[in-house]
Amino acid sequence: MKIRYLGHSCFVFTESTGTSIVTDPYGKIGFRMPSVSADAVTVSHGHYDHCNVKAVGGDPVVINEEGKYEVGGVTIKAIKSYHDDKNGAKRGENLIFKFRMDGLEVCHLGDLGEECSSSLIETLLPVHVLLIPVGGTYTIDAEQAKEYVDRIMPSIVIPMHYKTKGLEMDLDKVDEFTDLFDDDEHEEEEVEKVGSEIELSRDDLTEESTKIIVMERVKE
């Protein structure tokens, strides 16, 4: 499968069959949403920086409710969680999405804000590729994100929802997260910076280590 990073929490997942899914398309956040089309759009919650479905062409299926779905051979599971640590009292609910694409279990945590719990971890497992918010303020922060990584133990972690050039939101930079893995105690984790698109297969998975992949936003 291919993963293309459009910025913030928005990605394009494309299976080898050609089925494509866009996650959390954004509105006016300081930079423009690139032109894109897809077979499906997933929306973790209704905030403006995650629900601009009109920006996605191709007459996609919009998935914004808890449940199980199938689009073009891709299975999608939407799992209810909370946007804050007060059971949604501050910012409401959040949907976590799990996708099975080309044999990979991919998990997009949306704007997850709740503390890490055993019950939630058990619901999410197994996870090969984890896309996780790390910027704090509106979601879990770097320290909390690291706890999720340590508990889920995915092969690949892709941080999202952090401060980047042009973003008009008060978030921490990704370094706050990646620096937590940059010492002798974390030899089993590797941090790699790449471009705006990567291709993954089962051959890229390892049980012995976790790779943190920091992607660069597509610029148009």
- What's the rounded Cα separation, in Å, for the pair 153 and 132? 13
Q: What is the pTM of this model?
A: 0.94
pLDDT in tens, 181-193: 876 455 567 899 9
Report the number of distinct structural domains present in the chain.
Answer: 1
Contact 13, 1 (CB under 8 A): yes
Ranges of the chain with pLDDT below 50: 184
91 lies in a domain? yes
- 108 lies in which domain range? 66-214
Going across the sheet that includes 104-108, the strands are: 67-71, 74-82, 93-101, 104-108, 129-133, 156-160, 210-214, 189-193
Q: Is 21 inside a domain boundary?
A: no
Structural domain includes residue 154: yes
Residue 36 belongs to some domain of the structure = no
In a domain, 134, yes or no: yes
pLDDT at residue 47, as a whole number? 87
d(CA 110, CA 161): 9
Share of the chain above pLDDT 70, in %: 95
The tokens of 107 are what?
């998990």
pLDDT, position 187: 57
Distance CA 219, CA 201 (A): 25
Let me know if residue 60 belongs to a domain.
no
pLDDT of residue 34: 94
Structural domain includes residue 58:
no
In a domain, 31, yes or no: no
Quick check: helix, strand or coil at residue 132?
A: strand
Q: Is 181 helix (H, G, I), strand (E, B) or coil?
A: helix
**CA dihedral (129, 110, 32, 58) positive or negative:** positive
Q: What is the CATH number of the domain that holds 104?
A: 3.60.15.10
**What is the rounded distance in angstroms from the CA atom of residue 96 to the CA atom of residue 133?**
11
